[in-house]
């Protein structure tokens, strides 16, 4: 009996001390991402849901209705569990009345530049909007000798070409032509061109490279944004690395 009284008394003390602290916290039901939503992606019903958040910490721009978010275009990556805010999305239907989607998708301090690709330079069609690439450039080397005599020995290494990794971690904004909402969109989408986001100086460099050399693209692994140092590849480099022995006629 004493144990029971003590137990009951102990329980009473705990409940009495906890009671005044159990105050209801005002909440608000807001729209969140139920799965990762990549940038430049249309938001679907499966990717969003509702969650109750403490009203005091709900950030400005949060949505209370899923319909306000559904069908909008994400401007930045939105991660699972993240509150969807107004600056993260844009209404594509309103964009058609004013300007193209492209201008809203260009990152800060960048410009959009388009250039043509082939099945080889475009990684066999693997590149999609949102991917990142490295740009490889091959230029012709000036010839050191104008002699018309047959080249032998070390003279074989004169002229030729040089290949180097020109730009790294470049964002693909679009593959093919940008949609305009017209019947010509399907045909335009097949155009072999990509649009990339570049710094202004890099945009000039890419234009010059396209006019003076040969460009190919290297597709990066998703999430890889590391900058690497590479050595320019020339005929002497290939000779040295793979031991062709061109300077000695292969001997």
pLDDT at 151 (0 to 100): 52
Instruction: Say if CB 194 and CB 170 are below 8 A apart.
Output: no
Q: Is the pLDDT of residue 209 over 60?
A: yes
Q: What residues does 27 pair with on adjacent strands?
A: 54
More confident: 186 or 87: 87
How far is residue 52's CA from residue 27's CA, in Å, rounded to a whole number? 6
CB crowding 206-234: b at 16 or more within 10 Å, else e: beebeeebebbbebbeeeeeeeeeeeebb
Span between the terminal Cα atoms of the chain, in Å: 105
Average pLDDT over every residue of 183-189: 53
Give 178-182 contacts, CB < 8 A, sequence gap 24+: 178/100, 178/101, 178/102, 179/101, 180/100, 181/96
DSSP-derived secondary structure for 49-117: EEEEEEGGGPPTTB-S-GGGTTTPEESS-B-TTPBPBGGGEE-HHHHHHHS-THHHHSPTT-EEEEEE-
Instruction: Confirm if 232 and 162 have CB atoms less than 8 A apart.
Output: yes
pLDDT, tens digit (0-9, with 9 covering 90-100), for 124-160:
889 988 899 999 999 998 776 555 555 544 454 566 8
pTM, two decimals, is 0.60
pLDDT in tens, 46-87: 999 999 999 999 999 999 999 999 988 888 889 999 999 998
- pLDDT tens-digit series, residues 94-129: 654 444 567 777 888 999 999 899 888 889 889 988
Residue with tokens 């000695």: 248
Residue 181: the pLDDT is 56
Residue 14 exposed, middle or buried by CB count within 10 Å (0-12, 13-18, 19+): exposed
Residue 20's pLDDT is what?
55
Count of H-run helices and E-run strands, the chain? 6, 10
Tell me whether residue 145 is exposed, middle or buried, using C-beta atoms within 10 angstroms of its C-beta: 0 to 12, 13 to 18, 19 or more: exposed
């Amino acid at each position: 009996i004493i144990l029971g009284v003590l137990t009951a008394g102990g329980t009473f003390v705990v409940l009495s001390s906890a009671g005044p602290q159990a105050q209801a916290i005002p909440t608000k039901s807001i729209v969140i991402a139920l799965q990762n939503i990549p940038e430049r992606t249309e938001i679907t019903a499966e990717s969003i849901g509702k969650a109750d958040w403490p009203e005091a910490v709900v950030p400005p721009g949060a949505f209370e209705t899923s319909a306000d978010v559904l069908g909008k275009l994400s401007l930045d990556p939105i991660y699972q569990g993240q509150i969807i805010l107004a600056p993260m999305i844009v209404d594509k239907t309103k964009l058609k009345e004013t300007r193209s989607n492209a201008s809203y998708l260009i990152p800060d301090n960048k410009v959009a530049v388009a250039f043509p690709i082939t099945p080889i330079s475009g990684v066999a069609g693997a590149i999609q909007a949102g991917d990142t690439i490295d740009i490889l450039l091959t230029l012709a080397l000036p010839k050191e000798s104008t002699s018309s005599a047959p080249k032998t020995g070390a003279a074989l290494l004169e002229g030729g070409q040089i290949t180097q990794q020109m730009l790294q971690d470049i964002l693909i904004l679009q593959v093919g032509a940008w949609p305009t909402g017209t019947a010509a969109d399907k045909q335009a989408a097949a155009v072999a061109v990509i649009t990339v986001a570049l710094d202004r100086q890099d945009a000039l460099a890419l234009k010059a490279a396209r006019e003076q050399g040969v460009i190919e693209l290297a597709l990066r692994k998703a999430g890889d944004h590391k900058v690497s140092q590479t050595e320019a590849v020339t005929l002497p480099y290939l000779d040295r690395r793979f031991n062709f022995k061109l300077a000695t006629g292969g001997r």
